[in-house]
């Protein structure tokens, strides 16, 4: 939870700096939009901080620390499985890019405890939107759809986190490949934090599939069984970074322009869950 607080604080600092630049440029509209986003992030920070404070107060020192004898005979309670939305949040935080339910489920199986079936995510986005409508900003984060760069409407089947910068939640024509390469790097980093000798089979299989779809990411050793295909994380990372360098600038430009247009045209809720399809032609026609 503390890493999410750090991310929100970093985003608030970025917004404050952007507001100062916009003020110096005498761009009052941009200042207004940035201030609204800053207030939204501040509310998310307040809610998350309160949740963290409550968790710490509920998890006080055990009886052994307070001097009372600890019960040695009681077996440890089984770990409670996190709600689906928190499991999805864990995976999206690892990937740092919009992701489809199938990928979220696969990554969760590879790196987290417990199963997360894609079918459990079918209604999750609608539930999140209903929750926001009933009490805007009450949760520290919301699971939102990615927004398309042209229509600023919800991208089908792609989930993001509301606390991400708007540019990170928008997808353009090149974003699918950029996100694939970015997630390959994130998953390689997660694998390196584990014991390489004891890398879970689902994690290894996932990395092999990534390597098979990135030119130059696999050692030239033929293997018929994907479970035992060669895997070189350093080679995978170099190949992903080399291809990513070809697409990043163009994709970033597209998403940055779309984010600027979205802040000008959409209200606070639509910035999270997308503009309506009825207004899509009007949004698209505006440069």
CA dihedral over 103, 188, 245, 7, signed as positive or negative: positive
How high is the pLDDT of residue 26?
73
How high is the pLDDT of residue 20?
72
Ramachandran class of 152: left when φ > 0, alpha when ψ lies in -120 to 50, beta otherwise: left
Provide the CA 101 distance to its chain's centre, in angstroms.
12
How high is the pLDDT of residue 23?
75
45/53 Cα distance (integer angstroms): 12
How high is the pLDDT of residue 79?
46
How high is the pLDDT of residue 46?
72
- Each residue's pLDDT, cut to its tens digit, for the chain (287 residues) gives 566 667 677 777 777 777 777 777 777 777 777 777 777 777 777 767 766 666 666 655 544 444 444 444 444 434 446 889 999 999 999 999 999 999 999 999 999 877 888 888 878 989 999 999 999 989 999 999 999 999 999 999 999 999 999 999 999 999 999 999 999 999 999 998 886 667 888 999 999 999 999 999 998 765 555 545 678 999 999 999 999 999 999 999 999 999 999 999 999 999 999 986 544 444 443 43
How high is the pLDDT of residue 74?
44
How high is the pLDDT of residue 154?
96
User: Contact at 8 Å (CB) between 126 and 110?
Assistant: no
118/128 Cα distance (integer angstroms): 16
Sheet holding 143-148, edge to edge: 154-161, 143-148, 170-171
How high is the pLDDT of residue 36?
76
How high is the pLDDT of residue 120?
80
């Amino acid at each position: 939870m503390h890493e999410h607080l750090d991310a929100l604080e970093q985003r608030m600092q970025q917004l404050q700096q952007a507001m100062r630049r916009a003020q110096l440029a005498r761009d009052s509209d941009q200042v207004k939009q940035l201030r609204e986003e800053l207030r939204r992030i501040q509310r998310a920070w307040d809610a998350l901080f309160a949740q963290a404070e409550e968790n710490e107060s509920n998890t006080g020192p055990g009886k052994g620390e307070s001097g009372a004898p600890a019960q040695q005979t009681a077996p440890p309670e089984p770990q409670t499985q996190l709600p689906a939305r928190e499991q999805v949040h864990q995976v999206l935080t690892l990937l740092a890019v919009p992701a489809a339910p199938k990928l979220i489920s696969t990554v969760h199986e590879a790196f987290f405890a417990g199963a997360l079936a894609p079918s459990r995510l079918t209604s999750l986005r609608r539930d999140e939107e209903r929750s926001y409508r009933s009490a805007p900003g009450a949760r520290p984060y919301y699971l939102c759809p990615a927004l398309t760069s042209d229509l600023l409407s919800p991208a089908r089947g792609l989930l993001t986190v509301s606390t991400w910068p708007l540019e990170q939640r928008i997808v353009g024509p090149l974003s699918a490949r950029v996100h694939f390469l970015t997630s390959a790097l994130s998953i390689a980093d997660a694998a390196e934090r584990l014991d390489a000798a004891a890398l879970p089979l689902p994690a290894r299989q996932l990395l092999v599939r990534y390597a098979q779809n990135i030119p130059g990411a696999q050692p030239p050793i033929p293997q018929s069984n994907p479970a035992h295909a060669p895997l070189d994380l350093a080679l995978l990372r170099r190949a992903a970074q080399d291809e990513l360098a070809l697409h990043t600038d163009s994709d970033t430009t597209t998403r940055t322009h779309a984010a600027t247009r979205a802040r000008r045209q959409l209200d606070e809720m639509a910035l999270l869950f997308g503009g309506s399809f009825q207004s899509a032609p009007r949004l698209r026609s505006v440069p």
